[in-house]
Amino acid sequence: MALPLRSQPRARPSAPLPIVILAGAGAAFFIIPLIGLLLRTPWTSAWNELGSPEVLTALRLSLLASFSATAIALVLGVPLAWTFARLTFPGRSVLRALTVLPMVLPPVVGGVALLLAFGRRGLLGGWLATTFGIHLPFTTAGAILAETFVAMPFLVITVEAGLRSMDTRFEDAARTLGASRWTVLWRVTLPLVRPSLIAGAVLCWARALGEFGATITFAGNFPGRTQTMPLAVYLALETNPDAAIVLSLVLLAVSLAVLIGLRDRWLGAS
Amino acid sequence: MTLEARVRAGVGAFELDVQLAVAAGELVAVLGPNGAGKTSLLRALAGLLPLSAGRVTLDGVVLEDPVEGIRVPSERRPIGLVFQDYLLFPHLSVLENVAFGLRARGMARAAAIDEARRWLDRVGLPAEGDRRPVSLSGGQAQRVALARVLALNPALLLLDEPMAALDASTRVEFRRDLRRHLESFRGVRLLVTHDPVEAMAMADRLVVLESGRVLQSGTPADVTQHPRSRYVADLVGVNLFRGHASNDVITLAGGGSLTAAGAADGDVFAVVHPRTVALYRTRPDGTPRNVWEGQAVDLDLEGDRVRVRLDGSPSIVAEVTPAAVRELGLDRGDSVWISVKATEINVYQA
């Protein structure tokens, strides 16, 4: 019987020197900024900075906005992912490309586009304001909208991949057992793609938490209303560098936690 | 209760065209090689694969008829389908798996759980309800899958290769078990398999399927005695020839001819059992009507017999004793004389 390739003993490949040097430089490129951040952290006053009202306000707003954005992304993104994975209709690939576009679009451009759609003189903005009295730009709701716009594609593509790779015969089995399509979705499909749902939601949330460009363009930078953590970090860098560093450290810790939480998915079991 | 089905359906380039009738209490096995369309047939009956033409009726109720525009969706057909690898829901406990269909059909949770527990008892797994399907052995998973389907009291029970996922060593035991569970079921039973032993052991009637078409159907005895396809002949281990008979002489489709006692006129099948094929070093004298020369291309020891595959006109398989092989000094590539008595050829209408 043939052994899996990996377990066959083989000579360790020796790397050409230029590769080693360039790879080392590449790794250092990632590591040095992190070391810089850690070295410059004012550890003694860090706790005080964290407890300052500005930081707490930004933190609270960031959590509220990022979790709201994730919730909206789940409600709208999961049906979208299901549609892309299971249905074929004309224009499907075009529509799919458009919904994934925010992943590669410069966030500032996304913010401008949102302004043109939901701004006071935008495509829908005027109508929303006169009919429902809803004003989105420069409000917390606007910050949530901007984060959702940028972060939802991560959820959509992750869940879509999960739906595509699942064994759809489980759905067949459920149907022959008398389950309606709705029951199949809730009791079989979604539980089976749970890992993808979780991974997609976490990715989406992390992206929303870090959102800067679209938020500042569409929602502005009002402390307590639209000034989320990344915005606070950027502004604090000029007025209170220590606060900026501490805030950065908090965001770094969150990112690390996400990475560790999803390590089985990305880092493999190597 | 009866199933009457004429199924025409396409899966990609593959075309399924099957006519089938199964009465209540009858266990019919659809037998065929991999890729014959067995699973597609079950999926079509269960409503998972739409018909392009045909009609499926169960107890007089039309389940599907494309011409009349009738198509009862899977979830509303009184059909239970046991999938080849059982497809127990991995995120639910064994008990919840069995209760799934009852819940989906509107039974209250507590009642469904009670009923599921009774079914687990009945299939001999009273203590396994809280386990996850992944922790079950193949035989246990099979019984859970059966309980999950039987709990819904379907009018038609479809089983897709129920033994394929089991170890060869446990198959005999579980086949007996499965037969017992199937005997207590009153509806129409249709089993699909590529394992002839399983088909013969379980079924009242066989339907042989190949390339999406029914080649033959009948009782297991009838099918094995009168194979009508190379597939069945190989399964049974006999030589099957097809040809045109005229005055006791059958001109074979693959070249050569055979003389058989009392062969009817017309297109016929001729079956020659390998044990009745005799081999000689020199041209034999005497009465055999069929004598021709061939070349041994393969010798296989099977039990206390040697199967010799011979190229010639026609090609044929002979079964002789190892002693005979020694006496003949027979080896691969040797030329030998082949003879078959006219009375040993079983001829029937094609």
Q: What is the pLDDT of residues A132-167, one digit of tens each?
A: 888 888 899 999 999 999 999 999 999 999 999 999
- Residue A6: pLDDT over 60: no
State percent of chain A over pLDDT 70.
93
A76 in reach of chain B (CB within 8 A):
no
The pLDDT, as a whole number, for residue A8 is 58
The pLDDT, as a whole number, for residue A22 is 96
**Complex ipTM value:** 0.79
The answer to whether the Cβ–Cβ distance between A178 and B76 falls below 8 Å is yes
Overall average pLDDT of the B176-187 stretch: 83
B185 in reach of chain A (CB within 8 A):
no
The pLDDT, as a whole number, for residue B230 is 83
A60 in reach of chain B (CB within 8 A):
no
Q: How far apart are CA A202 and CA A154, in angstroms?
A: 9
Q: How far is A197 from chain B (nearest CA, A)?
A: 15
Closest CB to B152 among A170, A177, A183? A177
**What confidence tens digit (pLDDT) does each residue in A226-259 have?**
999 999 899 888 888 888 888 888 888 888 888 8
- Closest chain B residue by Cα to residue A184: B104
Arithmetic mean of pLDDT over chain B: 90
Query: B50 contacts in A (CB within 8 Å)?
Result: none
B76 in reach of chain A (CB within 8 A):
yes
Contact A126, A116 (CB under 8 A): no
Mode of pairing for the β-strands spanning B249-252 and B2-11: unpaired
Spell out the CATH class of A65-226.
mainly alpha
A vs B, Cβ pairs < 8 A, gives 62
φ, ψ (nearest 5 deg) of residue B204: -80, -30
Q: How far apart are CA B288 and CA B276, in angstroms?
A: 11
A173 in reach of chain B (CB within 8 A):
yes
Of A175-179, A242-246, B204-208, least confident by mean pLDDT is: A242-246
B326 in reach of chain A (CB within 8 A):
no
Overall average pLDDT of the A34-48 stretch: 85
Task: Give the residue extent of every domain in chain A.
Answer: 65-226
Length of chain B: 350
The answer to whether the Cβ–Cβ distance between B91 and A179 falls below 8 Å is no
Closest CB to A175 among B75, B149, B152? B75
What pTM, to 2 d.p., does this model score? 0.80
**What confidence tens digit (pLDDT) does each residue in B215-266 have?**
899 998 888 888 888 888 888 888 889 889 988 889 998 888 898 887 678 8
Q: How far is A200 from chain B (nearest CA, A)?
A: 19
Contact A154, A204 (CB under 8 A): yes
Query: A175 contacts in B (CB within 8 Å)?
Result: 47-48, 73-75
- Residue A7: pLDDT over 60: no
What domains appear along chain B, each with residue ranges and CATH number? 2-233 (3.40.50.300), 237-349 (2.40.50.100)
B80 in reach of chain A (CB within 8 A):
yes
Overall average pLDDT of the B150-166 stretch: 90
